[in-house]
Amino acid sequence: MSAVIARLVASRLFWPVVMLLALFAINLIAFPGFFAVTVRDGHLFGSLIDILRNGAPTLIIAVGMTLVIATRGIDLSVGAVAAISGAVACSIILGSPEPGSLATVAVAVTVALLISLVLGVWNGFLVAVLGIQPIIATLILMTAGRGVAMLITEGQILTVNSPPFKFLGSGFWFGIPIAVIVAAVVFGAAALITRRTALGMFIESVGINPEASRQAGVRARGLLIAVYTFCAFCAAIAGLILTANTAAADANNTGLFIELDAILAVVIGGTSLAGGRYSLVGTLVGALVIQTLVTTVYTVGIPPIATMVFKAAVVTIVCLLQSPTTAEALRDFRRRLGLRAGKGVVAS
Amino acid sequence: MTHHTDPAAPVVEMRGISISFPGVKALDGVDFRMFPGEVHSLMGENGAGKSTLIKALTGVYLIDSGTIALAGEQVAFSGPAQAQAAGISTVYQEVNLLPNLSVAENIMLGREPRRFGAIDWRAMRRRSAELLAGLNLDIDPGSLLGDHSLAVQQLIAIARAIDVQAKVLILDEPTSSLDTDEVAELFRVIRSLKEQGVAILFVSHFLDQVYEICDRLTVLRNGKLVGEYLVEELLRIDLVQKMIGKELTTLDDLEQRARSVVVDESDAALFVNAAKLGRRGAIHPADLPIAAGEVVGLAGLLGSGRTEFARLLGGIDRADTGELTVRGKAIKLRTPRQAISHRIAFSSENRRDEGIVGDLTVRDNIVLALQADRGWFRPIPKRKQDELAQSYIQALNIRPGNPDALVRNLSGGNQQKVLLARWLAIAPRLLILDEPTRGIDIGAKAEIQKLVFTLAENGMSVLFISAELEEVLRLSHRIVVLRDRHVVADLENDGLTVDSLLALIADGSVSVEEPGEADAAAPAVTAGAAVAASATAPAPPTAPTTDETEGGRR
Q: Which of residues 352-381 of B touch A (CB under 8 A)?
A: 353-360, 364, 368-369, 371-380
Reported residue count of chain B is 554
Q: Do B354 and A215 touch (CB under 8 A)?
A: yes
- Percentage of the residues of chain B whose pLDDT score is greater than 70: 83
- Say what the pLDDT of residue B515 is: 40
Q: What angle do CA A18, A263, A157 make, to 5 degrees?
A: 120
B2-48 pLDDT, tens digit each: 444 445 789 999 999 998 876 567 899 999 999 999 999 998 876 67
Are A236 and A113 in contact by the 8 Å Cβ rule? The answer is yes
Q: Report how far residue B248's alpha carbon sits from residue B315's, in angstroms, rounded to the nearest whole number.
A: 35
Q: Do B369 and A204 touch (CB under 8 A)?
A: no
- Collect all residues of chain B within an 8 Å Cβ-Cβ radius of residue A218: 337, 368, 372
* Phi (first) and psi of residue B74, to 5 degrees: -65, 135
ipTM for this model: 0.85
Q: How many CB pairs under 8 A join A and B?
A: 81
Q: Choose among A196, A197, A205: nearest Cβ to B368.
A: A205
- Say what the pLDDT of residue A142 is: 96
Residue of B307, B347, B368, B416 to mutate, testing the A interface (most A Cβ within 10 Å of its Cβ): B368
Q: Report how far residue B311's alpha carbon sits from residue B333's, in angstroms, rounded to the nearest whole number.
A: 11
Bridge-based pairing of strands B295-299 and B478-483 is parallel
**Which strands, in side-by-side order, build the sheet including B283-291?**
B283-291, B270-279, B321-326, B329-331
Q: Do B356 and A198 touch (CB under 8 A)?
A: no
Q: Do B359 and A204 touch (CB under 8 A)?
A: yes
Does A276 contact B at CB distance below 8 Å? yes
Q: Is A177 helix (H, G, I), strand (E, B) or coil?
A: strand
- Same domain, yes or no: B365 and B493: no
Does A43 contact B at CB distance below 8 Å? no
Q: Choose among B337, B340, B377: nearest Cβ to A197.
A: B377
- B537–chain A nearest CA distance, Å: 41
- Same domain, yes or no: B235 and B261: no
Q: Do B348 and A205 touch (CB under 8 A)?
A: no
Q: Report how far residue A165's alpha carbon sits from residue A22's, in angstroms, rounded to the nearest whole number.
A: 37
* Phi (first) and psi of residue B324, to 5 degrees: -120, 125
Q: Choose among A201, A205, A214: nearest Cβ to B336.
A: A214
Burial of A43 (0-12, 13-18, 19+ CB in 10 A): middle
Q: Is A102 helix (H, G, I), strand (E, B) or coil?
A: helix
Does A10 contact B at CB distance below 8 Å? no
CA distances in angstroms from A163 to A98, A156, A177, A237, A241, listed in the order given: 11, 21, 15, 18, 13
- Say what the pLDDT of residue B78 is: 83
Residue ending a domain, among B191, B211, B244, is: B244
Nearest residue of chain A to residue B354 (CA atoms): A212
- Same domain, yes or no: B259 and B148: no
Residue of B316, B359, B377, B419 to mutate, testing the A interface (most A Cβ within 10 Å of its Cβ): B359
Write out the H or E segment, with its range, that includes residue B41.
strand B39-43
Q: How many domains does chain A have?
A: 1
- Say what the pLDDT of residue B442 is: 63
Nearest residue of chain A to residue B377 (CA atoms): A197
Look at residues A271, A334, A330, A335 and name the one whose alpha carbon lies nearest to residue A64: A271
- B383–chain A nearest CA distance, Å: 13
Q: Do B359 and A208 touch (CB under 8 A)?
A: yes
Hey, how many other C-beta atoms are within 10 angstroms of the C-beta on A154? Answer: 10
Helix residue ranges per DSSP H, B351-464: 362-374, 382-395, 412-425, 442-457
Q: Do A213 and B354 touch (CB under 8 A)?
A: no
Q: Is B269 a domain residue? A: yes
Q: E strands along B466-527, which residues?
A: 478-483, 486-492
Does B382 contact A at CB distance below 8 Å? no
- Collect all residues of chain B within an 8 Å Cβ-Cβ radius of residue A211: 353-354
Q: Do A217 and B377 touch (CB under 8 A)?
A: no
Name all contacts of B372-376 with Cβ < 8 Å and 24+ positions apart: B372/A198, B372/A202, B372/A213, B372/A216, B372/A217, B372/A218, B372/A219, B372/B337, B372/B340, B373/A217, B373/B337, B373/B340, B373/B341, B373/B426, B374/A198, B375/A198, B376/A197, B376/A198, B376/A199, B376/A202, B376/A223
Q: Choose among B353, B368, B380: nearest Cβ to A216.
A: B368
Residue of A196, A202, A215 to mutate, testing the B interface (most B Cβ within 10 Å of its Cβ): A215
Q: Report how far residue B554's alpha carbon sits from residue B546's, in angstroms, rounded to the nearest whole number.
A: 17
- Same domain, yes or no: B469 and B421: no
- Collect all residues of chain A within an 8 Å Cβ-Cβ radius of residue B355: 212, 215
Does B348 contact A at CB distance below 8 Å? yes
- Same domain, yes or no: B338 and B370: no
Does A221 contact B at CB distance below 8 Å? no
Q: Is A137 a domain residue? A: yes
Hey, how many other C-beta atoms are within 10 angstroms of the C-beta on A6? Answer: 10
Are A57 and A241 in contact by the 8 Å Cβ rule? The answer is yes
End-to-end Cα distance, chain B: 64
Does A12 contact B at CB distance below 8 Å? no
CATH code where residue B295 lies: 3.40.50.300
Rama region for A230: left / alpha / beta (φ>0; ψ in -120 to 50; rest): alpha
- Say what the pLDDT of residue B282 is: 87
Does B406 contact A at CB distance below 8 Å? no
Q: Report how far residue B355's alpha carbon sits from residue B419's, in angstroms, rounded to the nearest whole number.
A: 7
The region of weakest confidence among B147-151, B221-225, B404-408 is B147-151
Nearest residue of chain A to residue B375 (CA atoms): A198
Q: Report how far residue B70's alpha carbon sits from residue B76's, in angstroms, rounded to the nearest whole number.
A: 10
- Same domain, yes or no: B309 and B389: no
Q: Is A184 a domain residue? A: yes
- Say what the pLDDT of residue B540 is: 38
- Say what the pLDDT of residue B109 is: 85
Q: Report how far residue B289's alpha carbon sits from residue B328's, in angstroms, rounded to the nearest whole number.
A: 11
- Same domain, yes or no: B67 and B199: yes
Residue ending a domain, among B397, B427, B457, is: B427
- Say what the pLDDT of residue B85 is: 85
- Same domain, yes or no: B208 and B262: no
Look at residue B57 and tell me whether its pLDDT is greater than 70.
Answer: yes
Look at residues A228, A225, A223 and name the one whose alpha carbon lies nearest to residue A199: A223
Are B492 and B553 in contact by the 8 Å Cβ rule? The answer is yes
- A265–chain B nearest CA distance, Å: 22
- Say what the pLDDT of residue B549 is: 37
- Same domain, yes or no: B109 and B230: yes
- Say what the pLDDT of residue A7 is: 67
Range of the domain at A297: 61-330
Residue ending a domain, among B212, B228, B244, is: B244
Are B14 and B56 in contact by the 8 Å Cβ rule? The answer is yes
CA distances in angstroms from A187 to A181, A195, B388, listed in the order given: 10, 12, 31
Q: Is A347 a domain residue? A: no
DSSP designation for A128: I
- Rounded to an integer, the average pLDDT of B335-363 is 92
CATH code where residue A127 lies: 1.10.3470
B474-500 pLDDT, tens digit each: 889 999 999 888 999 999 888 888 888
- Say what the pLDDT of residue A232 is: 98
- Same domain, yes or no: B133 and B227: yes
Does B346 contact A at CB distance below 8 Å? yes
Please, what sign has the CA dihedral across residues B545, B548, B551, B552? Answer: negative
Q: Is B285 helix (H, G, I), strand (E, B) or coil?
A: strand
Q: Is B352 a domain residue? A: no
Nearest residue of chain B to residue A211 (CA atoms): B354
- A277–chain B nearest CA distance, Å: 7
Nearest residue of chain B to residue A209 (CA atoms): B357
* 3-state SS, one letter per residue, for A267-306: HHCCCCCCCCCCCHHHHHHHHHHHHHHHHHHHHHCCCHHH
In tens digits, chain A (348 residues) has pLDDT values of: 566 766 666 667 877 888 889 889 989 998 888 888 888 888 888 889 999 999 999 999 999 999 999 999 999 999 999 999 999 999 999 999 999 899 999 999 999 999 999 999 999 999 999 999 999 999 999 999 999 999 999 999 999 999 999 999 889 999 999 999 999 999 999 999 999 999 999 999 999 999 999 999 999 999 999 999 999 999 999 999 999 999 999 999 999 999 999 999 998 888 888 899 999 999 999 999 999 988 888 888 888 788 788 878 877 777 677 666 776 677 677 666 655 554 444 433
Q: How many domains does chain B have?
A: 3
Q: Is A21 a domain residue? A: no
- Tell me, rounded to whole angstroms, the distance of Cα A186 from its chain centroid: 11
Q: Is B348 a domain residue? A: no
Q: Do B348 and A198 touch (CB under 8 A)?
A: no
- Say what the pLDDT of residue A338 is: 59
- Tell me, rounded to whole angstroms, the distance of Cα B201 from its chain centroid: 18
Bridge-based pairing of strands B321-326 and B295-299 is unpaired
Q: Report how far residue B15's alpha carbon sits from residue B3's, in angstroms, rounded to the nearest whole number.
A: 17
Does A205 contact B at CB distance below 8 Å? yes
CA distances in angstroms from B458 to B293, B430, B492, listed in the order given: 7, 12, 20
Hey, how many other C-beta atoms are within 10 angstroms of the C-beta on B505? Answer: 25
B432-480 pLDDT, tens digit each: 999 888 766 666 777 888 888 888 888 899 999 987 788 898 889 999 9
Q: E strands along chain A, which residues?
A: 38-40, 43-45, 158-159, 172-173, 176-177, 248-249
Does B433 contact A at CB distance below 8 Å? no
Q: Do B357 and A218 touch (CB under 8 A)?
A: no
Does A275 contact B at CB distance below 8 Å? no
Helix residue ranges per DSSP H, B196-234: 207-213
- Same domain, yes or no: B304 and B186: no
Are B319 and B279 in contact by the 8 Å Cβ rule? The answer is yes
- Collect all residues of chain B within an 8 Å Cβ-Cβ radius of residue A208: 357-360
b/e map of B45-74 (b: 16 or more CB within 10 Å)? bebbbbbbbbbbbbbebebeebebbbbeee
- Same domain, yes or no: B445 and B543: yes
Look at residue B147 and tell me whether its pLDDT is greater than 90.
Answer: no
Q: Report how far residue B46's alpha carbon sits from residue B351's, in angstroms, rounded to the nearest whole number.
A: 13
Range of the domain at B197: 3-244
Q: Report how far residue B366's alpha carbon sits from residue B370's, in angstroms, rounded to the nearest whole number.
A: 8
- Say what the pLDDT of residue A90 is: 96
Q: State the pTM of this model.
A: 0.71
- Say what the pLDDT of residue A13 is: 80
